[in-house]
Amino acid sequence: MAEEPKETKPGFQNPVAGFGVTFKAMFKKRLTEQYPEQKKTTAPRFHGRHQLNRHPDGLEKCVGCELCAWACPADAIYVEGADNTDEERYSPGERYGRVYQINYARCILCGLCIEACPTRALTMTNEFELADSSRANLIYTKEQLLAGLEEGMVDSPHAIFPGTDEQDYYRGLVTEAAPGTVRQVAVSKGEKPEDREEEVEA
């Protein structure tokens, strides 16, 4: 025969036990963070917004291999590679990432993409404020992800560092900006360079 459940003691003891928890918590240090007024400092290796890096002379490290897109478990990365030419060079390799997009509505910030990148072109920053009211604004383009130009760098497209080849870039032998390097005028197929130069000047 099953035992009947014991009755809880009614009356005075139950409310006192409840208030005991309240009084105990009243004198503890508050754990509430005053965000966004007080921004939290993230850990040095925090996985935040992605960044596409450059070589010291300004050429892009991304070679458009699409390995990051293949490694992404959330299918958040879209890459379209294109071929470099001597007249229009964006990276030291044969190819570069013509289109690069990361959809932060899908991205889980796991970091598998940066592990897959063979040229260390893709890294993650400490920026974590990625919320937006529009889904379209959560798709970051190459222009938004590409690292800014530092002093001495020349914006791509431009020629390889004088006296080096693409292997020297990936061995880390190019450590400074190329002296006298001039940005090339990007020209679409069937378009004359003079036409684009006139547009830029206008």
Could you tell me if residue 157 is inside a domain?
yes
Q: How do residues 52-79 score in pLDDT, each as one tens digit?
A: 999 999 999 999 999 999 999 999 999 9
Could you tell me if residue 8 is inside a domain?
no
Query: Can you give the residue range of the structural domain that contains 74?
Result: 50-174
pLDDT in tens, the chain (202 residues): 556 655 555 555 677 777 777 888 888 887 777 888 888 888 888 999 999 999 999 999 999 999 999 999 999 999 999 999 988 999 998 999 999 999 999 999 999 999 999 999 999 999 998 989 999 999 999 999 999 998 888 899 998 888 888 899 988 888 887 676 788 887 766 666 555 555 545 4
Distance of CA 23 to the CA centre of its chain: 46
Q: Which candidate, 46, 84, 71, places its Cα nearest to that of 166? A: 84
Cβ–Cβ < 8 Å for 106, 75: yes
Could you tell me if residue 90 is inside a domain?
yes
Could you tell me if residue 137 is inside a domain?
yes
Domain count across the chain:
1
User: Residue 82 sits in a domain of what CATH number?
Assistant: 3.30.70.3270
Could you tell me if residue 160 is inside a domain?
yes
- Stated pTM of the model: 0.74
Could you tell me if residue 124 is inside a domain?
yes
3-state helix, strand, coil in the chain (%, to 5): 20, 15, 65
Could you tell me if residue 133 is inside a domain?
yes
Could you tell me if residue 32 is inside a domain?
no
